[in-house]
Amino acid sequence: MKKLKLFLWIWLTALSSFGQTEVVKKDTLFEKAPEGLVRFYYDDHYYLVDKDCQFKSIERLSQFIVAKNAFHGEFKDFNRNGTVVLTGYYNEGVKEGAFKAYHPNGALKWEATFKENRPIGDWKYYYPDGKPMLTVNFDNGGGTISDYWDRLGRQRVVAGEGNYEFKMPFEFYNEYGFPFFERKGKIKNGLPSGYWTTNMVDDKNKKVLFTEEVYDKNGVLTEGFNLFQDRGYRVPLTIIPSQSFIIGERMLFKQCNFDDYSGFNAYLSDKLNGAFAANPSFQNMEEEFAYRVSLSNEGDPEMITLSQPLKTTALNKYLEMVIKDIPYYFPSIDEQGQPIADTLTISGKLSISEAGVFNFNSLTVEREKQP
Mean pLDDT, range 100-107, rounded to an integer: 96
pLDDT at 96 over 80: yes
pLDDT at 245 over 70: yes
Task: Tell me what pLDDT residue 20 has.
Answer: 36
For residue 281, give the 3-state DSSP assignment: coil
Lowest mean pLDDT among 16-20, 189-193, 266-270: 16-20
Task: Tell me what pLDDT residue 141 has.
Answer: 78
Task: Tell me what pLDDT residue 316 has.
Answer: 94
pLDDT at 153 over 50: yes
Mean pLDDT, range 183-209, rounded to an integer: 96
Nearest to 328 by CA among 358, 367, 301: 301
Mean pLDDT, range 151-177, rounded to an integer: 93
pLDDT at 2 over 70: no
Q: How confident is the model at residue 280 (pLDDT cuts 50, 70, 90)?
A: confident
Query: How does pLDDT run across 24-81, given as a tens digit for each residue?
Result: 457 899 999 999 999 999 999 999 999 999 999 999 999 999 999 999 999 999 999 9
Q: Which neighbouring-strand residues pair with 98?
A: 113
Task: Tell me what pLDDT residue 135 has.
Answer: 98
pLDDT at 18 over 50: no
pLDDT at 124 over 70: yes
Task: Tell me what pLDDT residue 264 has.
Answer: 92
As a whole number of angstroms, the distance between CA 308 and CA 306 comes to: 6
**Which long-range contacts link 197-206 to residues 24+ away (Cβ below 8 Å)?**
198/236, 198/237, 200/176, 201/167, 202/178, 203/179
Query: How does pLDDT run across 246-268, given as a tens digit for each residue?
Result: 999 999 999 999 999 999 999 99
pLDDT at 12 over 90: no
Task: Tell me what pLDDT residue 292 has.
Answer: 97
Mean pLDDT, range 131-137, rounded to an integer: 97
Query: How does pLDDT run across 50-62, given as a tens digit for each residue?
Result: 999 999 999 999 9
As a whole number of angstroms, the distance between CA 248 and CA 70 comes to: 10
As a whole number of angstroms, the distance between CA 296 and CA 328 comes to: 10
User: What pTM does this model have?
Assistant: 0.84
- Extents of the domains making up the chain: 277-367
Q: Going along 116-206, which residue ranges are E strands? A: 118-126, 132-137, 144-149, 155-158, 161-169, 180-188, 191-201
